[in-house]
Chains A and B, each alone.
Chain A
């Protein structure tokens, strides 16, 4: 059914259709409206046969999900930002145990400085936790990816994060087609666990594993993710057949077939990238876009095919791997058959800084002209940074940097220095 609704609300309804049996909710650090929506569904009885547990922290949220999933229930939670870091140890644990928990990450930045707005630092921090990570481009895809996520996770016995941009998607009102219960039931069978804590067939789960077997257990997790590289496109195809629309898959190309320049991004920024691609195509520039939906497993082969002919690749990255630059470009180099392909890393949109068409176009042009640095920061106010570095050079007790930069921005006219 077509609805005009907030992304969080749409996801809440989609999760409800997936018949979760245990939902853990922690509200702050920060949460979206997803768990609120689900709380209402459970409390009103619209979502029956579901335990909704208000926990005392994100660490507890993931831990309750671990217990529930291990005991054979379909478990779900949502988090973002500081919250996912607070649960980090349990996130790894769920990955290591191979429990098919589904978690929404309403992507936001990580402090300090404290900031509640969108970027991808939170998911990226947990990219190696053994979870599948799927990034949604818009709210329709966010809805659809959650339905696919339960199926995918449960087939492989692996947890899945569905990442959707905080605010830009979670709080945006868009037209969304919410599927029917019959459709979802047809796609997603009841959860049949591969391992289960059951007094009638008692097993030990979570044993101490030493050097003699740890490598093998970890390799198995890797092998399962490689298996997901096959399963993700299969499920997307089946989804299309049953629901009538394209959602998910490993990657999606946009006007990239003959492109000499390809822009790669994750999540909602691909919408803006496509607009700029269209503008520049109209000017006769051979440019295209590739959206990475599955960041873990990383679709190396699919990207290799999609990017193979490009002379230059520009990654638009909403997270900074401090001290080196980009996570996406770093991974992406594994997919490039030609080592001479130029890869430009553009760090953009940190802490909610808008990524505008004008700025993207400028940076793409500068790449085409060979003027772009290998790692650059979109719309960085360099003079402000330089003034702070200068203050730190001149004086020992300069105080907190974030506050100094804010003071500079608010009080000093740009021309003073």
Chain B
């Protein structure tokens, strides 16, 4: 009895200072609708969990990683061979990054097809689209950090493509590379992006995204709107299910790290010729393959410039979908579903094509 009293006193003390009772009350009332598409609700949480894994393993890698052209490769090699469980941390960091991008894509497309961006969730969608951009930037900047041959040339090609952005391409290329060429300056710069600038931006956008999700709750697909749906409490029912997924994800990451450790390759040599068949990471492959298929000149415009412009416009369109799709118009709504299917098919076909050629 006395123990309970003490706990109660602590709770009151904290509530007075932090307003914890409001949070408890919120959690008590937060519910998740149950229907045949509920499975898709788990992917946002899974992406968030994998992001946390990234933060934790990234922080551990920082203890040994040295961001310079002279030492980066050797320090990652040291992490992989000499540091206790360094191999595990680095492999998990690499695998988790890829899984996170995969679950992010699933989360994004499920939200798209369930039209979760309908009012009043437009800004949740926009913040999510910004998160996608940030995550891709994380992927691109992190890929270079081990300073191996493949990463070096992938960055060279990637920043070359950035150079094709209309108007600001030239500036962008120099800004990303820290000069005309990919050098040690690019490495330190990418390191800065990867561990300071991007995490800072990520914190803000992710916080906004999560607050908006809490504010508006789970969206129900239009087809089920208006029907009476069963609901489960978020805490603990849904969270426990989330937890099962996260624990299984840890198992999957451990298995991937132990059975397929992330390779290191050869140290980058700026004077060596580019290895044949150089390809970017899988999540950039559909764009890369598109640029590869475009002819050198389309009319008076250079093929690559045209490709990059189309992707930029496509990205802007994607971000503005909530404002273009009118939920009241069935025809337009169907059109947007069609556009989504086209995007998914396009990305899938181009990615597979890119891998096979």
Are A and B interaction partners? no
Give the A-binding residues of B (Cβ under 8 A). Answer: none
